[in-house]
Amino acid sequence: MRERVYLDWNATTPLRSEARAAMIAAMDVAGNPSSVHAEGRAAKALVEKARVQVAEAVGCKPAEVVFTSGATEAAAVLRGFGAVEVDPTAHDCLWSQRRAGQGVAVLAWGYANNETGVIAEAPAHDGPVMLDIVQAVGKVPFAFGWSGADMAIISAHKFGGPKGVGALIVRDGFEVPALLTGGGQEMGRRAGTENIVGIAGMGAAAEAAQRDLADGVWDGVAELRNILETALASGSNNTISVGKGGPRLPNTLSLIAPGWKGETQVMAMDLAGFAISAGSACSSGKVRESRVLRAMGFDGGQAAQAIRISLGPTTTKAQVLRFADVWSAQYAKARARVA
């Protein structure tokens, strides 16, 4: 039996060894980070170490990092603003927050799209700006301090950290409503005892991810993505590679295969031993066309025939070439059935 090949890194990444080690160590720290005794201070030190690690990876000040349960919770801070304009290709956690209202509108923008990998700078905007940099962290150079944004959202499990922990980045001096009220933790912006195990893992993963970026690891991943893209195009001359030729994440390939539904492709490749998706992991279980691709100008049929293949640093050339061979053979069979 051949090994399974994981090609769904944009959905979630495997846990990094550095994150695992940090989490195991944090499990032995008994104190509450809000307590002033030695045990509490030890727990607080873990949280603050991770805050520095995340800040360095994101390019912001440590005091601008507010730990949350993930990017979706971080995006919920938009509920405290009267009007929210949203990038039509943004992730659902932002798209669900759009609304008209009074006063200056907040612009919520998806900096690096999770389905297509397309990178797009936010347009000029008179009001506050929130960036979704969930997919960008650790994969492409980015510095919140230079972005001009007021807020950003990130999630640990997209760069090798644990699931269920993330952060809201808030520019120093910019006021936001509290995500949760209560004990006043996280500088009064998100009450509740901090998840020190998850936060420790997030910090360690952020540091390792930044190191990989500096070492050029993702340049190698981009080469593999391009090899895969070429191989798939060779196997079929009517596929559409979304975003090709423009700025993209180095690991992401969004492919439209006319005549073959995305969810059918996912099932066929799963049976063949490959994990891919038909869009965002948050919505891929729902049989529907991609809202993102429709917003980019593709028709309903095309939007329903797309898959997302996302690679990681451990992906090999042999794996992507085997995927290309298997996918091309399956596509030929699918086209023959409808001919």
For the annotated catalytic residues, the residue numbers are 282
Q: Select from 79, 74, 141, 70 the least CA-distant residue to 111.
A: 141
For residue 165, what are the contacts with CB-CB under 8 A and spacing of at least 6? 67, 68, 69, 70, 155, 156, 157, 195, 198, 199, 201, 202
Q: Select from 285, 302, 66 the least CA-distant residue to 170.
A: 66
Q: Select from 12, 11, 14, 4 the least CA-distant residue to 326.
A: 4
> What does the alpha-carbon distance between residue 154 and residue 74 come to, in Å, rounded to a whole number?
8
Q: Select from 209, 206, 212, 182 the least CA-distant residue to 54.
A: 206
Pair type for strands 166-170 and 65-68: antiparallel
C-alpha distance from residue 288 to each of 61, 239, 263, 301 (Å): 40, 20, 9, 10
> What does the alpha-carbon distance between residue 339 and residue 334 come to, in Å, rounded to a whole number?
9
Q: Select from 170, 177, 180, 142 the least CA-distant residue to 158.
A: 142
Question: DSSP states of 95-135 as a string?
Answer: HTT-B--SSSPEEEEESB-TTT-BB-PPPP-SS-EEEE-TT
